[in-house]
Amino acid sequence: MTQIRVSWLVISLLLVMAPFGGQTRANSLDYAKGDMAIGSKDAPVTIIEYASMTCPHCASFHLGPFKELKSKYIDTGKVRMIFREFPFDPLALQASMLARCTGEKRYFGMLKVLFKNLSKWAQVSDPQKALAKIARLGGFTEARFKACMADQELADMILRSRLTGNKEFGVVSTPSFIVNGVKVSGNLNAAEWDELLATYLK
């Protein structure tokens, strides 16, 4: 499966840019912090997913194999899934920020909405306007959406997560998965997940 690969030029641009106005925490909203995870903490297998919100292969995973992975392994206590952002571009960063600003309880719901409607916001002439529309449908006021997009601390947190993934696990493409510490790149189908997880769940 073809994957999206990172450009070091993009990394440097993401690190130095300040497109969100540098808003301080005093004037910004609370957001979901740290790792976003589903599944039992006692599960024998932990999968860390690194994904970019503008990555079509990431969307394919979440709208396809992830459903079976969740019902067969996550909901049954066999797998704990941790989602970490790995934005390749400013738009992916903004979408990640929007998901975080919905709060921890609604985070995965917003991820699903964004991936399901990827072509309706990431591939249009005015993606920010499209993101704002999704935010409104999710209960955001215009002021809340603007505050979210202006939250520099939130943007920095997501970018640090991205750089950590590259440094600690050598992640350079999405989707990438860390299964009990071992990197697996590519959008595996349901059968391939069954085969892989069988080695950990004997």
The Cα–Cα gap between 118 and 172 comes to: 21
122: helix, coil or strand? coil
Question: Looking at the domain covering 4-12+34-182, what would its CATH class be?
Answer: alpha beta
pLDDT digits (tens, 9 = 90+) for 104-120: 999 999 999 999 999 99
pLDDT digits (tens, 9 = 90+) for 55-105: 999 999 999 999 999 999 999 999 999 999 999 999 999 999 999 999 999
The Cα–Cα gap between 136 and 124 comes to: 18
5: helix, coil or strand? strand
Question: What is the average pLDDT across 166-181?
Answer: 95
For residue 71, give both structure tokens.
Answer: 């019902």
The Cα–Cα gap between 94 and 91 comes to: 5
Q: What is the pLDDT of residue 187?
A: 80
Place of tokens 């990555």: 55
Q: Find, among 41, 66, 40, the residue nearest to 51 by Cα.
A: 66
Task: Quote the mean pLDDT of the chain.
Answer: 87
Residue ranges per structural domain of the chain:
4-12+34-182
Q: What is the pLDDT of residue 111?
A: 95
pLDDT digits (tens, 9 = 90+) for 12-28: 444 444 344 444 444 44
What pTM, to 2 d.p., does this model score? 0.85
For residue 112, give both structure tokens.
Answer: 């699903």
Q: What is the pLDDT of residue 29?
A: 61
Q: What is the pLDDT of residue 27?
A: 47
147 φ/ψ angles, rounded to the nearest 5 degrees: -65, -40
For residue 119, give both structure tokens.
Answer: 């072509």
pLDDT digits (tens, 9 = 90+) for 116-146: 999 999 999 999 999 999 999 999 999 999 9
Residue 30's pLDDT band, with cuts at 50, 70 and 90, is confident
For residue 199, give both structure tokens.
Answer: 């080695």
